[in-house]
Chains A and B, each alone.
Chain A
Amino acid sequence: MGRYVVKRLGHAALVLVGVTLFSFFLTRMTGDPVRLMAPLDATEEEVELLRTQLGFNRPLHVQFLDYFRGVLVLDFGDSLRHGEPAMLLVFERMPATLSLSFTALLLAVAVAVPIGVVSATRRGGLLDALGTLLALLGQSMPVYWLGILLIIVFGVQLRWLPAGGRTDWTSYILPAVTLAAYTCTSIMRILRSSMLGVLGQDFIRTARAKGLGERTVVYRHALRNALLPVVTVVGLQLGSLLSGSVITETIFAWPGVGRFVVQAIFNRDFFVVQAAVFLFALVIVAINLATDLLYSLLDPRIRYA
């Protein structure tokens, strides 16, 4: 187990180096940030002076090595637009994104697990049919459409909930539902099919034969085994929840990282984009590692060498 973790950490470091390299050169391919920063009527000399001040006149590989050396000591450069350390700016916006993503994830799991279990145990029943319909809706509705629909119904028409912004807990409801819709229905479908597979296995029959109550059989024995693929999905979905919050954050005027990075891309604020990409990569790598380790906790048959 220990060796496995070390090996996976090594892989993670490699991934992060790759991400650093890629994000650096990809941003450079989008064009010249100095043009956007200088006032529209700046003279050619003023633009050149600014370029020299920012170090963009140096050869690309020199700029990269300089940046990479910075990353090694956790210095991701200063935002071109805000003049503050890029990583701190991203960090400042992280709470808004994380709190929304986790709320959405909790909501998704809390709704999906009972529905998924009931759909499987009462296969073919009315509840199963409703669950399937819900899953179909959730999987096929585009995020921006659902978001705007919720705003129109619950914000503008009924006036029950705020239409945007982050104020008190009520402002979490609409964006969290929007963000959770897809994840929730994915979990629901995976859990239903994996539950069906587990319920047909010998050990479930044994458990029933031992005279255990149906509730214990389903929740203690079957659910625990059926959750394995769900953990994988949740892990994967958390990554996409974080990065996928861009649209939701924009629609609901949510002050998070997603919206901030979109602005940074338009402004060619390279260092902010790089810092955010690095941070997202770090989070996703960490989630994948945690998912793999959770496997062995849930299913003692899985052992890593």
Chain B
Amino acid sequence: MQHHRALWMRAAAWVSAVALVLAGCAGAGRSSRGPDGGAGSSGAGAQRPVVVLQGVDATTLDPAGHAETPAYNILNNIYDTLIYRNHEMKLEPGLATEWRTLNDTTWELKLRQGVKFHNGDTFNAADVKATIERIIDPAEASPRRNNLSAIQEVKIIDDYTVHIITSAPYPILPNRLASEHVISAEYLAEHGKEYLAANPMGTGPYKFVRWVKQEEVVLEANPDYWRGAPQIQQVIFRPVPEAATRISQIQTGQADIAVNIPANQVEALRNDPSVKIVDVPSVRVIYVAFQTRKGGIVGNPTFRRALAHAIDARSLIDNVLMGAGYHMATALTPQHFGFDPSIQPYPYDPDLARRLLAESGYQGEEIQFDTPSGRYAMDKEMAEAIAGQLQKIGVNVKLQVNEWGNHVGLMTSREQKGIYMLGWGNATWDADGTLSPLLSGDGAFSSHESPVSDELILKARSTMDQAERERLYHQALRQLHEDVAHLIDWQQKDIYATSTRIEWTPRSDEEINLVSARLVQ
């Protein structure tokens, strides 16, 4: 009997699905927007919506259900975070007005009073507790859990004070909280998880209007936003996978902000008066590293140093990346806490490289170089050029181009054979977020082991004194540079195209905040 009912319900679902298909066929083009992107639907005299083009659609609009930039960018306009990261990537008060440590594992947060959610509910401590506990609950299987797994408990002291207890000293907690969107506890309890994921409701500058999957997410300004109403009235996010299509939609005035513009298009676009090109150094560093754990010739530091001196980084960045990158000495960018400006990249010196290669006892063994293709800007091409420069000094490099899924599998199982390329966008803006996973002994992506740097990284991780942490990171970075754990690092440059009617400055963390954008016409 039970089975029959399930069958009937399924049949009913199918019938309604077929009806949906037919209805969609008949009613396609229900919203009317001309080629100028004009808002036929929002009435005469209204401001035209600002259209943002990203490469893909969000998989979900649940703040705890994703770990991806396109979803984050949409949610970031609907929700607030406890702590804000400003344009300079520094932390400032958000929904929390102040935060301090009571002891090594207890943080006290004072919350902002008088903030209202879009449905009129008042924001308070219960919302903070609900937001965090949902993410750290293993049963929820949130892809964001790793960000906050150091948190043990959230205690409500009063309506506007919470204590966050961590299982060990965790100095980067504020950095982590700066990327978690605060939901309403009442809204979640009342409507449940599925509804929340499809109908986001926060305290942020924009209210959610609708989401037509693969087509658009529509938001409208929240006039009661506690920081002041946004100037731009309506915002539409659209997924457009093809870069050429994103560009042409900016050129035709159908869209206002487009992400990921290929560097080779920039020259031509600079001559188009209807387009502005803006760029910013990215949070993402791409690196080519050695698998030093497996011994062999790659385990020999002299060999690695020889290879490092064989790379003409300036020429690679100018010619292969078309200038869309910055050569780095280490995997940290200058904006990351712990960055050491005194460390210089290995200079290009092919003669020294050949000498060191001979000294290292290299016998012509084949060195495998694993690279992804299409994951980072010009990744395969960079790998080919690097391999070419290594071959020039007499290293027998075999380039292996992997599909991304296989490449990730290779990295996490630590099966890389010799050299490999990977990128890392450490949005905590703290050295720990790069050094622990990539360069410490038990890091998920670490292929290098050094007792000296390992100990320094581990110590810095649980030290609450920031000056001391910085000193430890400088020491660790110098050691890793001495070890030649990485062959080359470069910081990606994020390139955007915008229409001329909007004034918007991109951020290093790829966030697109419309509250800080202005229409100029």
Contacts and interface: CB of A to CB of B under 8 A. Distances in A.
A170 B35 contact: yes
Interface string B49-72: 000000010011000000100000
B21 A91 contact: yes
Most interface-central of B11, B60, B242, B403 (chain A CB within 10 A): B242
A42 B146 contact: yes
Contacts of A40: 408, 412, 444-445
Contacts of B248: 151-152, 155-156, 163-164
B91 interface: no
B323 to A, nearest CB: 25
Contacts of B21: 91, 94-95, 98
A233 to B, nearest CB: 23
Interface in B402-447: 403-406, 408-409, 412, 437, 444-445
A102 interface: yes
Given A161-B35, A255-B215, A81 B412 contact: no
Given A35-B412, A161-B35, A163-B254, A169 B29 contact: yes
A96 B28 CA distance: 7
Interface size bracket, A side: 35 or more
A268 B254 CA distance: 32
A200 interface: no
Contact of B20 (A43, A81, A92, A266): A92
Contacts of B32: 167-168
B24 A96 contact: yes
A220 B444 CA distance: 74
Contacts of B315: none
A201 B20 CA distance: 48
Contacts of A38: 143
Contacts of B143: 38-39
Interface in B241-292: 241-242, 244-245, 248-249, 251-254
Contacts, number: 163
A82 B60 contact: yes
A75 B9 CA distance: 11
A168 B31 contact: yes
Most interface-central of A50, A96, A152, A169 (chain B CB within 10 A): A96
Contacts of A82: 59-60
A253 B29 contact: no
B245 A95 contact: no
Interface in A41-91: 41-43, 47, 50, 53, 73-75, 81-83, 85, 87-88, 91
Given A164-B245, A170-B34, A41 B252 contact: no
B240 interface: yes
A257 B39 CA distance: 27
A159 B32 CA distance: 17
A95 B252 contact: no
B141 interface: yes
B245 A163 contact: yes
A81 B146 contact: no
Nearest to A35: B409
A295 to B, nearest CB: 26
A32 B409 contact: yes
A35 B408 contact: yes
A232 B352 CA distance: 70
A73 B24 contact: no
B376 interface: no
Contact of B240 (A88, A159, A165, A172): A165
B403 A31 contact: yes
Contacts of B239: 253, 255
B34 A168 contact: yes
B242 A165 contact: no
A251 interface: yes
Contacts of A36: 404-405, 408
A155 B408 contact: no
A251 B245 contact: yes
Contacts of B214: 93, 96, 255, 259-260
B1 interface: no
Most interface-central of A73, A160, A255 (chain B CB within 10 A): A255
A263 interface: yes
B168 interface: no
A91 B36 CA distance: 30
B213 interface: yes
Interface in A121-145: none
Given A32-B405, A36-B408, A167-B33, A91 B251 contact: no
Interface string B192-234: 0000000000000000000011110000000000000000000
B23 interface: yes
A156 B251 contact: yes
Contacts of A151: 244-245, 248
A95 B7 contact: no
Contacts of B31: 167-168
30 contacts: A31-B403, A40-B444, A41-B437, A50-B141, A73-B10, A74-B14, A75-B10, A88-B17, A92-B213, A95-B28, A98-B21, A99-B24, A102-B25, A148-B244, A155-B35, A162-B35, A162-B249, A163-B249, A163-B252, A164-B254, A166-B29, A166-B215, A167-B29, A167-B33, A168-B29, A168-B31, A168-B33, A168-B34, A168-B40, A253-B238
Which 8 residue pairs across A and B have the least CB separation, nearest first?
A: A95-B24, A255-B214, A163-B248, A253-B240, A167-B33, A91-B17, A162-B35, A168-B32
